[in-house]
Protein backbone atom coordinates (compact mmCIF):
# COMPACT_ATOMS: atom_id res chain seq x y z
CA UNK A 1 0.00 0.00 0.00
CA UNK A 2 2.90 2.32 0.73
CA UNK A 3 4.07 1.90 -2.85
CA UNK A 4 0.74 3.24 -4.18
CA UNK A 5 0.89 6.26 -1.86
CA UNK A 6 4.49 6.88 -2.90
CA UNK A 7 3.50 6.60 -6.56
CA UNK A 8 0.65 9.08 -6.02
CA UNK A 9 3.00 11.54 -4.33
CA UNK A 10 5.48 11.23 -7.17
CA UNK A 11 2.74 11.81 -9.75
CA UNK A 12 1.58 14.89 -7.84
CA UNK A 13 5.14 16.24 -7.68
CA UNK A 14 5.66 15.65 -11.41
CA UNK A 15 2.39 17.44 -12.15
CA UNK A 16 3.46 20.44 -10.07
CA UNK A 17 6.85 20.52 -11.80
CA UNK A 18 5.11 20.37 -15.18
CA UNK A 19 2.79 23.23 -14.23
CA UNK A 20 5.79 25.29 -13.12
CA UNK A 21 7.54 24.65 -16.43
CA UNK A 22 4.41 25.61 -18.35
CA UNK A 23 4.18 28.86 -16.36
CA UNK A 24 7.86 29.54 -17.07
CA UNK A 25 7.32 28.93 -20.79
CA UNK A 26 4.37 31.32 -20.77
CA UNK A 27 6.44 34.01 -19.08
CA UNK A 28 9.29 33.38 -21.51
CA UNK A 29 6.97 33.79 -24.49
CA UNK A 30 5.57 37.04 -23.06
CA UNK A 31 9.06 38.42 -22.43
CA UNK A 32 10.14 37.50 -25.98
CA UNK A 33 7.06 39.23 -27.38
CA UNK A 34 7.76 42.30 -25.23
CA UNK A 35 11.34 42.38 -26.53
CA UNK A 36 10.20 42.18 -30.15
CA UNK A 37 7.86 45.10 -29.52
CA UNK A 38 10.60 47.15 -27.84
CA UNK A 39 13.03 46.37 -30.67
CA UNK A 40 10.45 47.68 -33.16
CA UNK A 41 10.05 50.83 -31.06
CA UNK A 42 13.83 51.22 -31.03
CA UNK A 43 13.97 50.96 -34.83
CA UNK A 44 11.31 53.68 -35.09
CA UNK A 45 13.28 55.95 -32.77
CA UNK A 46 16.52 55.36 -34.68
CA UNK A 47 14.73 56.10 -37.95
CA UNK A 48 13.37 59.36 -36.52
CA UNK A 49 16.84 60.32 -35.24
CA UNK A 50 18.26 59.61 -38.70
CA UNK A 51 15.53 61.62 -40.39
CA UNK A 52 16.16 64.61 -38.14
CA UNK A 53 19.93 64.29 -38.57
CA UNK A 54 19.55 64.36 -42.36
CA UNK A 55 17.27 67.39 -42.19
CA UNK A 56 19.76 69.20 -39.95
CA UNK A 57 22.75 68.10 -42.07
CA UNK A 58 21.85 68.14 -45.78
CA UNK A 59 25.56 68.09 -46.62
CA UNK A 60 27.22 64.95 -45.27
CA UNK A 61 29.56 65.57 -42.36
CA UNK A 62 33.01 64.04 -42.55
CA UNK A 63 32.79 60.27 -42.23
CA UNK A 64 29.18 60.10 -43.40
CA UNK A 65 29.76 60.57 -47.13
CA UNK A 66 29.49 56.85 -47.93
CA UNK A 67 26.22 56.48 -46.00
CA UNK A 68 24.72 59.54 -47.69
CA UNK A 69 25.73 58.12 -51.08
CA UNK A 70 24.13 54.75 -50.27
CA UNK A 71 20.97 56.53 -49.17
CA UNK A 72 20.86 58.51 -52.42
CA UNK A 73 21.35 55.29 -54.42
CA UNK A 74 18.52 53.61 -52.52
CA UNK A 75 16.28 56.63 -53.14
CA UNK A 76 17.12 56.46 -56.88
CA UNK A 77 16.23 52.74 -57.01
CA UNK A 78 12.94 53.39 -55.20
CA UNK A 79 12.10 56.22 -57.61
CA UNK A 80 12.90 54.00 -60.61
CA UNK A 81 10.71 51.20 -59.25
CA UNK A 82 7.85 53.62 -58.63
CA UNK A 83 8.19 54.89 -62.19
CA UNK A 84 8.05 51.32 -63.53
CA UNK A 85 5.00 50.60 -61.39
CA UNK A 86 3.23 53.65 -62.78
CA UNK A 87 3.98 52.50 -66.34
CA UNK A 88 2.58 49.06 -65.54
CA UNK A 89 -0.67 50.63 -64.33
CA UNK A 90 -1.21 52.36 -67.69
Q: Tell me: the pLDDT tens digits for 50-70?
A: 999 999 999 999 999 999 999
- SS3 percent helix, strand, coil of the chain, rounded to 5, is 90, 0, 10
The pTM of the full predicted model, rounded to 2 decimals, is: 0.62
Q: Are residues 85 and 41 in the same domain?
A: no
Both 45 and 63 in a single domain? no
Whether residue 21 sits in one domain with residue 63: no
Contacts of 64 (CB under 8 A, 6+ apart): 57
Whole-number pLDDT of residue 21:
77
One domain, residues 46 and 88: no
Residues 32 and 69 in one domain: no
pLDDT greater at residue 26 or residue 16: 26
Q: Are residues 51 and 32 in the same domain?
A: yes
Q: What is the pLDDT of residue 23?
A: 81
Which range of residues forms the domain containing residue 66? 59-90
Number of structural domains, the chain? Answer: 2
Amino acid sequence: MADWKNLGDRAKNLTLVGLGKARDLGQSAKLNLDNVSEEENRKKYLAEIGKRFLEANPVPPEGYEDLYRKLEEADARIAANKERLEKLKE
